Chain A
Amino acid sequence: MGREKAPINEASYIAYVARLKKEGKGFPMNNRGDVNYSKVADECGFHRQVLYNTLNDQFLEDLKVIGVEGPSETSDTEDHLAKKADVKSKEASALRKELDAKVQENSLLRRQIEALEAEVRKLKRERSENDEAFEEMLSTGRRCFFR
């Protein structure tokens, strides 16, 4: 199977190198500044191991000739990713802020509920005290409003 594909791979590689030469470009570069085997293999449509095995000699020779080109496409992708990360980070930050605000709002509302509950309790207590005092006044004639 490998042998059958070998001529196809070779042809594809030759065409790719010819295109690079024609365009005056070098082999693509990875983050570390070396040739990007994966990218080359992708462009040629085979696995990167092909460049290490079957086409290794040819590839090293061509590398000497046309060299590598600066971080062209890699750089774009990373930019893109960085931008995306930036956006996501901003979104996350906004969401965090929103969450913080909601948490604050929630705690404020909880405090309000507690205050209102305390108020209701106080009013109920006052009403109960007033009712008791009024009943007491109707029975004993004495004023028992403890203010």
Chain B
Amino acid sequence: MIDCTKTIQINSVWPGKFGGAVFTGKPLNAKKHLTCRASWKVLAQAPKTGEFWEVHGRLVTDDIYGKQLIVERCHLKQLPSPMFLLDYLSKSPRFRGFYFGAKKTRQLISTVGSESLLIELLNGDRWQDLGDVINPGIAKRLCQKWREAQNEIETITFLVEHGFDAEISRRLIRLCQENTVERLKNNPYHLLAFGGISKNIWKTVDTCGRNLNFPLDDSRRLVGAIEHVMYQRLREGHTAATEHEVLDMAARILRTDNRAAMALKLALKEQAICITDLYGERLYQAVGPAYIEHSLERRLERLVGGAMQGCLFEITPESASRIVFEYSKGIWQELGYELTVDQRSAVEMALTNRCSVITGYGGTGKTTVLRSVVELSVANHRRVYCMALSGKAKERISESTGQSATTIHAFINAALKVTKGEDTWVDLDCDPLIVIDEASMVDVSLFNRLLAVFDERSFSLLTVGDDAQLSPVGFGLAWHRMIGTTIPTIKLSKVYRQAEESALHRAAMGIRDGNCEELPMWQGEEEGVFFVPANTETLKQTIYQLKEKIPGAQVLTPHVSDRMPDSAIALNKLLQKSLDHGEDDYERPGFRVGRYFLRVGDPVIVTENNYELGLFNGTMGRMLELKSNDGELEGVFEFDSKDENESLSVQDCYDIGLSLAYAISIHKSQGSEFDKTIMTTTVASKLVERSMIYTGLTRSKRLCLLVGDKSIYQKAVTSPTRAATLRVGFSLQ
């Protein structure tokens, strides 16, 4: 293996099966082409033919493919010399549509005079001077395309030179479309907004600022530091911070208290942050989340205060009791049970208010109430749109209400078409009832986006969920803070689905209230909640042994990041390898999808919604066999939500983000139920908290084994939930 760095002109590109690419290119001053293999981790964007790239990596010799460069770093580069202009213009797909064949390009260059002159004209946007050679309209477009290409290359070069991930370039150029480098040089601290993508963003941006001679007290640096603090808190879910919290974190990165205090003042002056007084406390917020929360508050307040008479088909409060009572009597006759008093009140509330909340834990009849509300509304000729955050949850609401349902994202996308005048299945002007199930998962930003599509329109909103379950993955908290405010709320608390005296229910109720019941050790019982001790060293062996004993149990983990020993990735790889049966079992046929090699017999989970295939995030299944369709590999899968088996190509599997499901994250399990579960509590982290344990436990119908460290479990249960510790600015009076 030889380390090697080269600048190559891209000759051909094949998208890699696992997200990266294989490409060939001709190194400068060389005759032979070089084949490069780059994984998705090192490839911020796909190379295009005609472009110049700097590639760095190890030269290896493969038995089948010969000499290859395994790329470790690579990025787009400027034309190394004007002499490559002809090739660049005629080959790069960027200039497709101009019909610049080699002959035409050569003619253009020779008419202008030389490659350098043409580059000068293109750089200077002097399309008029090209007007003698090509049509002025085309010349104008050519200059624009050239400028875009130059801007992109300059931006990537700047980012690479200053140690940023080139991955941010695409988003950056979308937000800053021209003179990007000039604007970045004027204020590199703008790049702090890309903290999620680029690692150690403050250090990288500050070093860049220092290299550009920004003094330590420069106002742009100080304002950037405060924004960085707010973004760090945002990543943890907080949308607000006290003065002490802001100053403390800012002083840590700016090194002095004085500078932190100065920074806070400047950030306020610059309107990068704002102040909100909440419950007698002064809170600071970045303008983004403050705007989102404020907008959502206004929208909800308008909705709560809105009159119901807008809808001709509305059920009035006077008639609601009678209608619900008669409906309840009807289901008694048909199904042999009737709605309880609480459930009837919940249905009446949902039918007679513009905005209402129903909360309650599993088995309290939320689904029954939901179905009743939907059926009664439809019977009164009211349009109902049912939706949920995840694909799996929307499938469940669809099953339980008999109404078609969508994900919230899909609904918003369809609704936005209305504003553009395009054809869509959504009717926003019919004063519909919007029903959101599993509302605890919906973050403040998505909530706001959903309500924004109904601006200036009438609608009613019913949200249903369990506030003890996981809070949203994104920042902020809306639904949890809607409960018990001016928004009419009913809490369902009587359990019907699960025997009230079952150990699972008792443990779940205890955890919900923060009481840590002593869990018995598992001795092979078939039902209940038990503990199985394990530490990071024995975890894998323990999980493997438990899966051997209870093959049908679903492994759940709080962690996804592969840095964690009990992450879903680590456990999947372990279980796929160790649970195989027979010596040659590891040779089971399969194909690679991203980081996993899926083999026949493996359990799988869909992680991306795909309406075309009818498969949604959270849907689980199993790979049954592998077949070839016209030479292309296809896997045959059975999915829980489908009656028939589904044949999926490798590309389909990528599109739906198919992953192994020997172990899944508790977040992904939300909305699903399993007979038996094995939940890890081996590694302490911010994620291992009460609502995580509660959500994991309530996924089990019969047996739940908690595997790990008792103290981690106890600390998680007795500490407040994440939702309770989040500091947010959202508040309904």
A residues whose Cβ falls under 8 Å from a Cβ of B: 114, 125, 128-129, 132-133, 136-147
Residues of A within 8 A of B193 (CB): 136, 140, 142-144
Residues of B within 8 A of A125 (CB): 177-178
Residues of A within 8 A of B231 (CB): 141-142
Min CB distance A99 to B, Å, is: 21
Q: State whether A142 touches B286 (Cβ < 8 A).
A: yes
Min CB distance A72 to B, Å, is: 58
Q: State whether B475 touches A136 (Cβ < 8 A).
A: no
Residues of B within 8 A of A147 (CB): 183, 187
B292 contact from A114, A128, A141, Cβ within 8 A: A141
User: B190 near A: Cβ within 8 Å?
Assistant: yes
Residues of B within 8 A of A139 (CB): 445
Bound CA span A140–B292, Å: 10
Min CB distance B410 to A, Å, is: 16
Residues of A within 8 A of B448 (CB): 138
Residue of B nearest to A124 (CB): B177
Q: State whether A143 touches B288 (Cβ < 8 A).
A: yes
Bound CA span A128–B175, Å: 8
Q: List 11 A-B contacts (CB under 8 A).
A: A132-B175, A136-B175, A137-B291, A140-B445, A141-B231, A141-B234, A142-B288, A143-B272, A143-B286, A144-B175, A146-B184
A137, A139, A141, A146: most-surrounded residue (chain B CB, <10 A): A141
Bound CA span A144–B272, Å: 11
Residues of B within 8 A of A142 (CB): 193, 195, 227, 231, 234, 286, 288
Min CB distance B626 to A, Å, is: 39
Bound CA span A136–B292, Å: 11
Bound CA span A144–B195, Å: 12
Residue of A nearest to B234 (CB): A141
User: B176 near A: Cβ within 8 Å?
Assistant: yes
Residues of B within 8 A of A145 (CB): 190
Q: State whether B292 touches A144 (Cβ < 8 A).
A: no
What 0/1 pattern do residues 285 to 302 of B give for CB contact below 8 A with A? 011110110000000000
List the 3 closest pairs (A to B, CB-CB), nearest first: A141-B288, A146-B176, A142-B193
A137 contact from B177, B196, B288, B476, Cβ within 8 A: B288
Residues of B within 8 A of A138 (CB): 288, 291-292, 445, 448-449
Residue of B nearest to A111 (CB): B128
Known: A125-B177, A132-B175. A141 touches B239 (CB 8 A): yes
User: B174 near A: Cβ within 8 Å?
Assistant: yes
Main secondary structure of the interface of A (DSSP, over half): helix
B175 contact from A114, A129, A141, Cβ within 8 A: A129
Min CB distance A114 to B, Å, is: 8
List residues 472-507 of chain B with CB under 8 A from any CB of chain A: 475-476
Residues of A within 8 A of B445 (CB): 138-141
A132 contact from B174, B183, B291, Cβ within 8 A: B174
Bound CA span A132–B476, Å: 22
Bound CA span A2–B576, Å: 130
Query: Could you list 15 further interchain pairs (A-B, Cβ under 8 angstroms) beyond the known A142-B234, A144-B190?
Result: A129-B176, A132-B175, A133-B175, A137-B287, A138-B288, A138-B449, A139-B445, A140-B193, A140-B196, A141-B239, A142-B227, A144-B193, A145-B190, A146-B190, A147-B187
Bound CA span A142–B227, Å: 9
B288 contact from A128, A129, A140, Cβ within 8 A: A140
Residue of A nearest to B176 (CB): A146
Residues of A within 8 A of B171 (CB): 136
B residues whose Cβ falls under 8 Å from a Cβ of A: 128, 171, 174-178, 180, 183-184, 187, 190, 193, 195-196, 227, 231, 234, 239, 272, 286-289, 291-292, 445, 448-449, 475-476
Bound CA span A140–B174, Å: 15
Residues of B within 8 A of A146 (CB): 175-176, 180, 183-184, 187, 190
Q: State whether B174 touches A143 (Cβ < 8 A).
A: no
Residues of A within 8 A of B239 (CB): 141
Residue of A nearest to B293 (CB): A141
Bound CA span A146–B192, Å: 11
Residues of B within 8 A of A144 (CB): 175, 190, 193
Bound CA span A141–B239, Å: 9
Residue of A nearest to B272 (CB): A143
Residue of A nearest to B178 (CB): A125
Residues of A within 8 A of B286 (CB): 141-143
Min CB distance A36 to B, Å, is: 56
B175, B231, B291: most-surrounded residue (chain A CB, <10 A): B175
Q: State whether A143 touches B175 (Cβ < 8 A).
A: no
Q: State whether B183 touches A143 (Cβ < 8 A).
A: no
Q: State whether A141 touches B289 (Cβ < 8 A).
A: yes
Residues of B within 8 A of A140 (CB): 193, 196, 288, 445
Residues of A within 8 A of B183 (CB): 146-147
Residue of A nearest to B444 (CB): A141
Residue of B nearest to A137 (CB): B288
Known: A138-B292, A138-B449. A143 touches B177 (CB 8 A): no
Residue of B nearest to A121 (CB): B144
Residues of B within 8 A of A143 (CB): 193, 227, 272, 286-288
Residues of A within 8 A of B292 (CB): 137-138, 141
Bound CA span A123–B445, Å: 28
Residues of B within 8 A of A128 (CB): 177
Bound CA span A142–B290, Å: 10
Residue of A nearest to B285 (CB): A141
Residues of A within 8 A of B449 (CB): 138
Bound CA span A129–B184, Å: 15
A141 contact from B190, B272, B475, Cβ within 8 A: B475
Bound CA span A143–B190, Å: 8
Residues of A within 8 A of B178 (CB): 125
Min CB distance B243 to A, Å, is: 20
Residues of B within 8 A of A137 (CB): 287-288, 291-292
Bound CA span A139–B196, Å: 13
Min CB distance B14 to A, Å, is: 31
Bound CA span A132–B174, Å: 7
Min CB distance A111 to B, Å, is: 10
Residues of A within 8 A of B291 (CB): 137-138
Bound CA span A144–B175, Å: 7
Bound CA span A136–B176, Å: 12
Bound CA span A143–B445, Å: 14
Residues of A within 8 A of B476 (CB): 141
Min CB distance B599 to A, Å, is: 37
Bound CA span A146–B220, Å: 12
Bound CA span A138–B293, Å: 10
Residues of B within 8 A of A132 (CB): 174-175
Min CB distance B202 to A, Å, is: 14
Residue of A nearest to B231 (CB): A142
Residues of A within 8 A of B288 (CB): 137-138, 140-143
Bound CA span A146–B177, Å: 10
Bound CA span A32–B291, Å: 98
Bound CA span A125–B175, Å: 10
Residues of A within 8 A of B195 (CB): 142
Min CB distance A109 to B, Å, is: 14
Bound CA span A144–B289, Å: 13
Q: State whether A129 touches B177 (Cβ < 8 A).
A: yes
Min CB distance A137 to B, Å, is: 4
Min CB distance A91 to B, Å, is: 33
Residues of A within 8 A of B190 (CB): 144-146
